[in-house]
Structure 1
């Protein structure tokens, strides 16, 4: 077998072993732990998670980092390399493998229960743009954003242990010299960070919003007042999905058209203005829910499951609800598209200051809000189509030949009537 780091090693034939796991723990001080192939807790990763928590990173961020670390741990385990002994050769091979190898796809639990094995429908629809939204579906390869996020996480992990003196003396994921952070005096951005040598380039994309007609279709596909209230809030105040789902019943102030949410990053409590329609749908949902026996009280959760035993509505349950509406329309909108739609509508309103939009969305930097200023894909397509129509119907003035040229001679040469 070829050694790790050998450029002639067949990475296409490499299969990532499904060893270890990232496990959620019912402990606020330790929300997630990484288990190795033997089932033991990986303490270096737990120390890194503790650092993230001390830096006010939410559990969702810790889980996102943990999935990247799990992938790296499985890669090292397959080649028998201990994490402290990982070199740039292993890091380079890991980056190459993520760039060229198909990502493993886990079968749905219904498929596993039925005994189906292998890659679920690894076929024609993977990566093909949706006919309704124009958004490509999940492809068979790792996306550039996934690879970039993974590189950043692993570089940060080794930087942490490098500073603590508990890891290798050289970070396996180096910083590219040409991407080193510029000082502020030289035009560096406060949000810029050093780019990694193995970090792929991520193309800039226009945030995709849901057009008004498509949103009306999506809203009409919903069957319950709870779901209608959720969408009405998401598309009016731009709250993140988890921010809205963690609201309490005391957070809704219909008389002032305000809804209190806890911001994902800062964990600060903020009352954001929402549309009157959203509160109407909320009231309709609450009347139905309270009659059905949903717990009622200022400190109770606002959103619950529809059937007993009643439980607080989770992100995955809300995502499944949204997915059922998508299935009826043949679309693949996401919950985050609702936030983008709200941001686009507010940012494109000339009577609403961009700094006000920044405050409502909870953006730390105005530059993040500014990405919603350009026209969306649908507006650009409509504008170009109108341009072609104008070109077709535009009255052209016949050209006049310059002095000294005979029109009949030019017509004979170029086949044009002057």
Structure 2
């Protein structure tokens, strides 16, 4: 057995136990609960969830934090360590394990409903390979650096909360980042932006869909509902789940406004949208009315296409886009459409950046400014044009020195002179 580290743990062959789980409840005061291996609610996590809810965190954030805490709880269970007895060595081993461990393969819900718990085989040949159409790499076999960074932040915050409450260990096993060595000329030493075990996360530029690729994606859609959704996402910059909150009364074609509920603030906001989006929406609404979709100002705007009709959910919308991706061999995401709308608006010199900030719902203008630089496609096109100019310049004939008669040079070297 290969042992790694001072703790003597075999992190290479360690398998995370499938014990416990994160369960969604119908109680609005407790949207999610974490269960241990015996099926009991984990009290320390339950208190932490209550703190998050009191701080105004939505249920989606609580679920995201809960998945990280579940991973940590399973790791401690595998080594028979209590949560309040976790040491810095345990946190260090957890960070090392996440860097090398293969991601668990989930069982599709349809297979689970049939009683088949065997996961689908992983396509190792395509894992981490950039897509030929979009340039985005496919998900790798190990945890991404962003997942590891998010997990470290959540666990450090969890133990910091219990440290303040006096209900956890006296030392946070996930320490804050150490001071880095001062650079020459700097007035004071700089500190790391996160915890000591937080990996370095590379800066990721927004990925928009080029106009030609967007037209291909739009042409691959089969239904007017899907065309309307894509047109709205690419014109008003709403997040994917925000657009699905619209009611039938929220669409105002005469004013070219569509009302949505913002993800973070939960405020209602009317977003200006393109004329084409409302044209496709009208075509979809007429089809929906004839097919028997519930009608009314308080009814949802977006519905499934087959009976029994249900309001369109995020996962169903993502499946719609994935079907179009399969036809094109691409891997565009719904969030790429928001980036596309943001990039188009931010690059318009006649549109104020503060207006773009309001439409996108950004709290800080610096977030909107990331869409100002040219995208990858524009940079590649500009550099290729530069190379073409250099090639044409190299093909031009040299200028003869003064004093030579042009007719003599033409006689010797041809009319190119």
RMSD: 2.5
CA distance change for structure 1 residues 220 and 119 in 2, over 3 Å: closer, same or farther?
closer
- Where does structure 2 lack aligned partners over 5 or more consecutive residues? 182-186, 401-417
Q: TM-score, normalised by structure 2?
A: 0.89
Residue 179 of structure 1 deviates from its aligned partner by: 7.0
1:357 paired to 2:374: no
Kindly provide the CA deviation profile for residues 242-270 of structure 1, in whole angstroms up to 9, marking residues without a partner as x. Answer: 11111111111111111111111111111
Describe how 1:2-401 pairs up with structure 2 within 5 A: 6-109=6-109, 113=114, 117=118, 120-178=121-179, 194-395=193-394
Aligned to 2:408: none
CA distance change for structure 1 residues 354 and 41 in 2, over 3 Å: closer, same or farther?
same
Could you tell me whether the CA contact under 8 Å between 1:23 and 1:34 is conserved in 2?
Answer: yes
- Determine helix, strand or coil for the equivalent of 2:226: helix
Kindly provide the CA deviation profile for residues 369-398 of structure 1, in whole angstroms up to 9, marking residues without a partner as x. Answer: 111111111111111111111111114786
Residue 153 of structure 1 deviates from its aligned partner by: 0.7
Residue 17 of structure 1 deviates from its aligned partner by: 0.9
CA distance change for structure 1 residues 51 and 391 in 2, over 3 Å: closer, same or farther?
same
Shifted more, 5-14 versus 319-328: the winner is: 5-14
Residue 351 of structure 1 deviates from its aligned partner by: 0.7
In structure 1, what is the Cα distance between the partners aligned to 2:399 and 2:41? 81
In structure 2, what is the Cα distance between the partners aligned to 1:227 and 1:51? 39
Aligned to 1:410: none
Could you tell me whether the CA contact under 8 Å between 1:56 and 1:266 is conserved in 2?
Answer: no
In structure 2, what is the Cα distance between the partners aligned to 1:92 and 1:106? 26
Residue 82 of structure 1 deviates from its aligned partner by: 0.9
In structure 1, what is the Cα distance between the partners aligned to 2:12 and 2:5? 14
Shifted more, 223-232 versus 51-60: the winner is: 51-60
In structure 2, what is the Cα distance between the partners aligned to 1:156 and 1:116? 34
In structure 2, what is the Cα distance between the partners aligned to 1:353 and 1:166? 50
Q: TM-score, normalised by structure 1?
A: 0.88
User: How many residues are treated as equivalent by the alignment?
Assistant: 392
Could you tell me whether the CA contact under 8 Å between 2:233 and 2:338 is conserved in 1?
Answer: yes
In structure 2, what is the Cα distance between the partners aligned to 1:327 and 1:91? 40
- Determine helix, strand or coil for the equivalent of 1:170: coil
In structure 2, what is the Cα distance between the partners aligned to 1:87 and 1:59? 30
Residue 399 of structure 1 deviates from its aligned partner by: 11
